[in-house]
């Protein structure tokens, strides 16, 4: 009996030695994976030792890529350096400077029914040769699409199988595909025509010292018409040009020469000067609705500080300007303060953190500050009294 028990114990002992060996042989792939995991942790296995330094190098490369900044323009700066305040409405200027805060950018405030510039913060930037307009170009695309019959206010463009946008929502949400389709359909010559009609490619001002005109391309940009009509590829826009263009939507179809009187005599002698009349009567309600909805629920919600008593109409833009290079945040808008219409344009330059929604928030603060002060300014001049200095386009 004792020998039988001993034999059983010996048999079990030998089996315990054999079972792991056979199990190990049968599970070679799992063992290999286990060895690789171990090698990654310790680096002891020569066959996979290279994984450790390669993984480390990959992580370092990813971090360099993550924190690299391709933009040369600072996000924050004193944007008032070098400005001359001669002739400016100082109430408006103080509101614009306060709203802009530490950001590197420009704020332009214009009377849309006369074309008088009330204040320019960062005049050097505002007078420059321009930047890519980003999605603010969609205002031009909307005018072209409606006038040429490529779209109607009620027609929708399918964005995906279950999503379609009409003009109102496409402006409010700044949908790129919607406006790219219009550009592809109309082609370069028609888009260039309406861009020039709205004041792009030429100086916005009347004898404003230092102003540059921005640029319109001579042919379709290499990125294609869709990028031109949704992001403004190939176009360079100045804050003054955007202010003049938004004034057209504010006043009902008059493109004024912007004037920037700097002395008491110039202010006393100021008279509006009309560049051309643009017949937008049929389409203004629909474009304005999209601009207002951008503030109500779209990309410009930050501008909406108190829309119940003060509706604001605007269009944001966000993109990278490859010529500079800098990241851009645009917002062109108009609103009313104490029965006085104002156009407020904001351009931000800097790193990837600047964008159109932030620019819209700055414009909203300008309106808020002036509203709290019950700003009325001087008497606005009726557009009917302004002489037409250029033929209608």
Cα–Cα nearest to 335, from 360, 298, 299: 360
Please write the tens of the pLDDT for every residue from 308-365.
568 999 999 999 998 988 999 999 999 999 889 999 999 999 999 999 999 999 999 9
- pLDDT at position 6, please? 41
pLDDT in tens, 69-128: 788 889 999 999 999 999 999 999 999 999 999 999 999 999 999 999 999 999 999 999
Q: Which one is predicted more confidently, 364 or 2?
A: 364
Average pLDDT, the chain: 84
Residue 173 pLDDT > 80, yes or no? yes
Phi-psi region of 374 (alpha: psi -120 to 50; beta: other; left: phi over 0): left
Mean pLDDT of the region 62-69 = 52
Is residue 333 within 8 A of residue 288, CB to CB? The reply is: no
Averaged over 246-273, what is the pLDDT? 98
The C-alpha atoms of residue 94 and residue 91 are separated, in whole angstroms, by 5
CATH of domain 90-385: 3.40.710.10
CA distance 371 to 360: 16
Surface-to-core class of residue 35, CB atoms within 10 Å of its CB (0-12 exposed, 13-18 middle, 19+ buried): middle
Res 378: pLDDT: 63
Q: How confident is residue 204, by pLDDT bands cut at 50, 70 and 90? A: very high
Residue 34 scores a pLDDT above 50: no
| DSSP secondary structure of 229-261 | HHH-TT-BB-HHHHHHHHHHHHHTSEEEPBB--
116 with 382: CB under 8 angstroms?
Answer: no
Q: Quick one: pLDDT band at residue 40, thresholds 50, 70, 90? A: very low
Judge contact between 314 and 331, C-beta under 8 A.
yes
**Could you state, in order of their start, the residue ranges of all structural domains in the chain?**
2-67, 90-385
Dihedral of alpha carbons 354, 355, 356, 360, sign: negative
According to DSSP, the β-strands at 254-256 and 274-277 are antiparallel
* 208-248: pLDDT as tens digits: 999 999 999 999 999 999 999 999 999 999 999 999 999 99
The C-alpha atoms of residue 351 and residue 283 are separated, in whole angstroms, by 36
Cα-based distances in Å from 93 to 88, 195, 334, 339, 375: 7, 30, 16, 19, 12
DSSP string, 147-182: HTTS--SS--EESSSS-EE-HHHHHHHT-HHHHHHH
pLDDT over 60 at 56, yes or no: no
pLDDT at 264 over 70: yes
pTM of the model: 0.81
Q: Is the dihedral of CA 146, 153, 256, 320 positive or negative?
A: negative
Instruction: Answer whether 183's CB lies under 8 Å from 141's CB.
Output: yes
The predicted model gives 50-67 an average pLDDT of 42
Identify the residue whose tokens are 């294609």. Answer: 224
Residue pointed to by tokens 């509101």 = 95
Distances (CA, A) of 23 to 28, 34, 35: 9, 15, 16
Predicted local distance difference test score (pLDDT) of residue 148: 98
């Amino acid at each position: 009996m004792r020998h039988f028990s001993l034999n059983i114990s010996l048999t079990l002992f030998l089996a315990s030695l054999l079972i792991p060996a056979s199990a190990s042989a049968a599970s070679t792939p799992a063992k290999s994976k286990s060895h690789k995991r171990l090698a990654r942790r310790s680096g002891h296995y020569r066959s996979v030792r290279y994984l450790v330094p390669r993984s480390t190098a990959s992580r370092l490369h990813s971090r360099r890529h993550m924190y690299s900044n391709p933009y040369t323009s600072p996000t924050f700066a004193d944007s008032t350096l070098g400005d001359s305040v001669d002739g400016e409405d100082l109430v408006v200027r103080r509101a614009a400077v306060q709203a802009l805060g530490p950001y590197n950018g420009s704020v332009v405030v214009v009377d849309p029914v006369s074309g008088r510039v009330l204040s320019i913060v960062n005049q050097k930037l505002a007078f420059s040769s321009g930047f890519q307009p980003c999605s603010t170009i969609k205002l031009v695309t909307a005018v072209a699409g409606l006038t040429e019959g490529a779209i109607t206010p009620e027609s929708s463009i399918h964005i995906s199988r279950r999503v379609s946008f009409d003009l109102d929502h496409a402006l409010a949400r700044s949908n790129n595909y919607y406006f790219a389709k219009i550009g592809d359909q109309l082609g370069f010559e028609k888009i260039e025509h309406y861009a020039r009609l709205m004041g792009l490619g030429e100086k916005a001002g009347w004898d404003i010292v230092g102003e540059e005109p921005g640029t319109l391309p001579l042919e379709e940009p290499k990125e294609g018409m869709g990028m031109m009509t949704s992001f403004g590829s190939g176009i360079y826009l100045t804050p003054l040009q955007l202010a003049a263009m938004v004034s057209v939507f504010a006043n009902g179809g008059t493109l004024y020469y912007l004037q920037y009187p700097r002395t008491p005599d110039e202010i006393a002698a100021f008279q509006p000067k009309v560049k051309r009349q643009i017949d937008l009567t049929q389409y203004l309600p629909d474009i304005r609705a999209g601009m207002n909805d951008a503030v109500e629920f779209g990309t410009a919600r930050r501008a909406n500080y108190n829309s119940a008593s003060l509706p604001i109409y605007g269009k944001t833009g966000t993109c990278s300007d490859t010529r500079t290079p800098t990241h851009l945040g645009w917002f062109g808008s108009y609103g009313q303060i104490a029965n006085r219409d104002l156009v407020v344009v904001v351009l931000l330059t800097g790193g990837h953190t600047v964008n159109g929604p932030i620019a819209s928030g700055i414009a909203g603060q300008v309106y808020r500050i002036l509203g709290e002060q019950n700003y009325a300014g001087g008497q606005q001049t009726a557009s009917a009294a302004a002489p037409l200095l250029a033929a209608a386009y």
